[in-house]
Amino acid sequence: MGVSGSGKSTLSTRLGCALACPVLEGDAFHSAASVAKMQAGHPLTDDDRWPWLDRLGAALGEAALASAGGVAVAACSALKRSYRERLSAASAVPLLFVLLDTGAAEIARRMETRSGHYMPPSLLGSQLATLEKPTSDEAAVTLDAARPVETLVAEALTWIDAQHGAILGADPISRRSH
């Protein structure tokens, strides 16, 4: 989770590979109208987001239940606590959240240099204003998105293994290395 440009897609792909599980790209679950709205430089409202979060949450739950390890990964902004709660309810499986957080200047630099993404850098301010960082009572960890992706993967996997065992009373998640 995190604002656009924080590295969610990169980290989720790497985690999915390490965990040998399905990976869902949250952007793929937006309606065409929401994508057009963002392309035009207009931030989404909560009413725009609820159906998106429901679709993504349901798909995430289905993917986790269908995977051999009972695990799936999704890249999703999940900027507000209410969005994380909505995703959790729609998924009907325990969810863990990894917030990729770093300075606005670094995120803006990343957004300016990437191509082919519908989210314009002009919406970064609204995303940062919307972001509600997870609190201690949420199943979430915050990682510094400015760190190398290999470091983020290792930190996330260590935390996920600990949480997975606490939630399910299970051994660490089986992984293959890539």
* Residue range 66-86, pLDDT digits in tens: 998 899 999 999 999 999 999
The CB-side HSE value for 130 (13 A sphere, CA atoms) comes to 21
Helix (H, G, I), strand (E, B) or coil at 73: strand
Residue 129 lies in a domain: yes
Residue 30 lies in a domain: yes
Number of domains in the chain: 1
Residue 2 lies in a domain: no
Residue 176 lies in a domain: no
| CA–CA gap between residue 78 and residue 87 (Å, rounded) | 8
Residue 39: predicted pLDDT: 83
Question: Residue 53's domain is classified under what CATH number?
Answer: 3.40.50.300
Question: Where in the sequence is the domain holding 131, given as residue range(s)?
Answer: 8-168
Average pLDDT, the chain: 86
Residue 13 lies in a domain: yes
| CA–CA gap between residue 93 and residue 77 (Å, rounded) | 19
* 146-170: average pLDDT: 83
Residue 80 lies in a domain: yes
Residue 149 lies in a domain: yes
Residue 60 lies in a domain: yes
